[in-house]
Amino acid sequence: IFFNSRLSLGVVNLKPLFPGHVLILSRRKVPRFCDLTPEEAQDLWLSAHTVSKVIEREYKGESLTLVIQDGPAAGQTVPHVHIHILPRKKVCSPSLCGAFTPLSSC
């Protein structure tokens, strides 16, 4: 745990797609974004906002990708709502260098 707020935590992804790939998760374990209270949802996004500035600066990113996979059909493998934050550079394509299937091919 590298970040704490009242309702959210920041952790390093154990299987990062890129250096600097981190997760912001709710303290209360709920599977879906809609299961959060409005206060928890607000804190989750404010925490992502705070952490994203640091991640982009520290990893010298040019952009960021923020992702929530909300439910199994969306690719969620851990039943605990969380936001992925990935620092990005121009060397990768917008499709995350093959990390995700583009929607046009689904």
| Six token digits for residue 12 | 């390093």
Do 47 and 10 form a contact (C-beta atoms < 8 A)? yes
What is the pairing mode between strands 82-88 and 63-67? antiparallel
3-state secondary structure of 98: helix
Q: Which of 5, 84, 14 is nearest to 50 (CA)?
A: 5
Q: Does residue 95 surpass a pLDDT of 90? A: no
pTM (predicted TM-score): 0.82
Q: 27-69, pLDDT tens digit by residue?
A: 999 999 999 999 999 999 999 999 999 999 999 999 999 999 9
pLDDT at 106: 46
Say whether 80 is catalytic: no
Q: Which of 21, 49, 80, 82 is catalytic?
A: 82
Which residues sit in the known binding site for substrate? 13, 69, 75-78, 84
Q: Give all domains of the chain, ordered by start, each with its CATH number.
A: 3-105 (3.30.428.10)
